[in-house]
Amino acid sequence: MENTSKNIDMIDQFIANERKSKIWTIINIGFFCLMGILVFWLAWSLNKTNAKYKNINIQLGKTQDSLKYALTQLDAYNTTLKQDSFSLSTRAGNYDSLKKVLDTVVLLYKESQANSIDKLTATADGHINFSDSPGESNNKGTSYIKPSQNIKNIIVDPVKIISHQKPAYTIYMHCMPGYERITSALSKQLVDKKYIIPGQEVIKGITFNPVVKYFNDDDAEEAKKIAALINSSGDFFSGTPAKVLKLDLKSPENQLEIWIGKFQQKDIHQLIKQSY
């Protein structure tokens, strides 16, 4: 009887343990299911975040490229502005000084012509007079001589006679450091072709490609002619040909500028630092 009772107790304990084991198994399975769901959710979130950051990185790359392009353009415009500022200070000063000289010369010329005419009239009075009708005579029997149109033009506007002569072009040479030898060789070629070269100036702090600049429409053809001469003068210009550019700056006619160098692309970090 005791054995039976012990067996029943053992069976009850076994059943209780089995129940506990099932409960803990269910709890563990539930826990691992939750952990699996959590891991799956974390993996999904991480994948979504990675995709988001990948898209952000793509957009950031595009933004950096746009910024680099914008800063490059800004650097190029800044270089052009410095060149134009330099040209403006040089050309304006030349224009004002030469304009004053020209006005003075024309004024003195007209005054000398007027004085000559007055003296000629006083000397020839009663002997020879000017008339629009050749061969006519006055009451004193003096013959009239009609002056030619060329003489009238000289007296009225002597600059017109000077303008018929082929002008001598003055070319101002500018170059980047390291391009002095190329510029000097080019200057010699231009001097041999009767161009006036006052000298050459080394421009520091900016980079630029070769360019021929002119300021008046009448000088456009000469600028194109000189650019063609430059581009056929050496191997450097075959890879970096000189362009022709007009600047709307006040300048005397028959004056051009030549800029020799090679534009250097700056690193984006330099451009960003420079923009501050």
Looking at per-residue pLDDT, the higher value among 110 and 203 belongs to: 203
Full-model pTM: 0.50
Looking at per-residue pLDDT, the higher value among 87 and 226 belongs to: 226
Both tokens assigned to 219: 């000088």
E strands along the chain, which residues? 129-130, 144-145, 170-175, 200-202, 211-214, 243-246, 255-260
State residue 26's pLDDT score.
Answer: 87
State residue 272's pLDDT score.
Answer: 57
Distance CA 234, CA 190 (A): 14
State residue 186's pLDDT score.
Answer: 95
DSSP 8-state class, residue 240: S
* C-alpha R_g of the chain: 46
Residue 156 has pLDDT above 60, yes or no: no
Contact indicator for 260, 182 with CB cutoff of 8 Å: yes
Both tokens assigned to 213: 């600049």
State residue 205's pLDDT score.
Answer: 85
Greatest Cα-to-Cα distance within the chain, rounded to the nearest angstrom:
186
Could you state, in order of their start, the residue ranges of all structural domains in the chain?
A: 126-165
Question: Which residues have C-beta within 8 Å of that of residue 259, sequence separation ≥ 6?
Answer: 83, 174, 175, 203, 208, 210, 211, 213
Closest CA to 274 of 70, 96, 132, 124: 70
State residue 93's pLDDT score.
Answer: 54
Looking at per-residue pLDDT, the higher value among 136 and 48 belongs to: 48
Cβ atoms within 10 A of the Cβ of 66, count?
10
| Residue 257, beta-bridge partner list | 172, 213
User: What share of the chain has pLDDT > 70, as a percent?
Assistant: 61
Residue 142 has pLDDT above 50, yes or no: no
Distance CA 45, CA 202 (A): 61
Q: Which helix (H) or strand (E) holds 41?
A: helix 2-124
* CA-CA-CA-CA dihedral for 179, 183, 184, 186, to nearest 10: 140
pLDDT-derived band of residue 98, with 50, 70 and 90 as boundaries?
low
pLDDT-derived band of residue 10, with 50, 70 and 90 as boundaries?
confident
pLDDT-derived band of residue 185, with 50, 70 and 90 as boundaries?
very high
Distance CA 189, CA 171 (A): 12
pLDDT-derived band of residue 3, with 50, 70 and 90 as boundaries?
low
